[in-house]
Amino acid sequence: MGDVAVGARSGHDGEEHRGRPAESAVPAADSAVTPGSDSGAAEDDRVTGEYSTAEGEGPGGTARTPKKPRSFWKELPILIGIALVLALLIKTFLVQAFSIPSDSMQNTLQQGDRVLVDKLTPWFGSEPERGEVVVFHDPDNWLAGEPVADPNAFQTFLSWIGLMPSAEEKDLIKRVVGVGGDTVECKGTGPLTVNGKALDERSYVYAGNTPCSVDDQGGQFKVKVPEGSIWVMGDHRQNSRDSRYNQSDKHNGMVPVKDVVGRAIVIAWPVNRWDNLPVPDTFDQAGLNARSAAAGLTAAPQGLALLGVVPVVLWRRRKQ
């Protein structure tokens, strides 16, 4: 606060105080006075705020008067602009609201629910995991024939900045069942198996539905999920047009990871439906993650080779 004192001090200042006893210096609270500042001026600044100078008043022809505060109506557009920028940044990088348009995820999600989707973790390289509920862009015309909403301009704007659930009807929401490297299979009415392990889906599959659908349209299948893709299914198994019924598209029913918007983490609306969306326990069962074992076997020879090379390098360095 070296600039607290205003105006230049006169060269006669020392003469005015000559012969007078020096006043003891007392530190001001909250460091209001800093070295090199006039203590009186600092006290004035701490109490009354900023000052401007006006000629013709006070010693030396100058006086300090408080600046007029800016009008609220002048500051309002700035505040609105800052709020909009923050909302846009949050929607782009952190979380976004989505509205559930159908019954395909009952009873986990009901039509009309609003969910918040985590968009931050994918920026750090995180990929969808089995059991997560994810929002993704339509991979290849999955929504053909579905009714499309027609929001007005104001609703479109609010959706764009993230202050309203997304009005983009090209997004879908399903549960991840298989990830890259998994083998997913349905026989008869189920259970659904992943890498040969049966899933216990009673906690989230719609009551009265069977885990697998007995039909010749895609309900009976055995697929291997390629790397960089996921296999998704709705919790309302007999009322969900998911990966099973899109195997004739260009991705063979898979959803490219790059098309995933993010993971739905919480039901935000209505209030009586507030809840989080955890991964069901069945996806944590031992032996389900066949990819980890395969990765370990692949890495093992490399690790052994590294351990074998280290002693040789140390021996050569000793000789040198």
* Residues catalogued as catalytic: 104, 174
Peptide bond into 59 cis (omega under 30): no
- The secondary structure of residue 69, as a DSSP letter, is P
CA distances from 7 to 60, 61, 291, 305, 317 (A): 9, 10, 74, 76, 71
Question: Which helix (DSSP H) or strand (DSSP E) does residue 158 occupy?
Answer: helix 153-161
Calpha distance 308→28 (Å, rounded): 68
Angle, helix 153-161 to helix 72-93, in steps of 10 degrees:
70
Tokens of 257: 């990871």
Calpha distance 206→111 (Å, rounded): 14
Calpha distance 251→84 (Å, rounded): 38
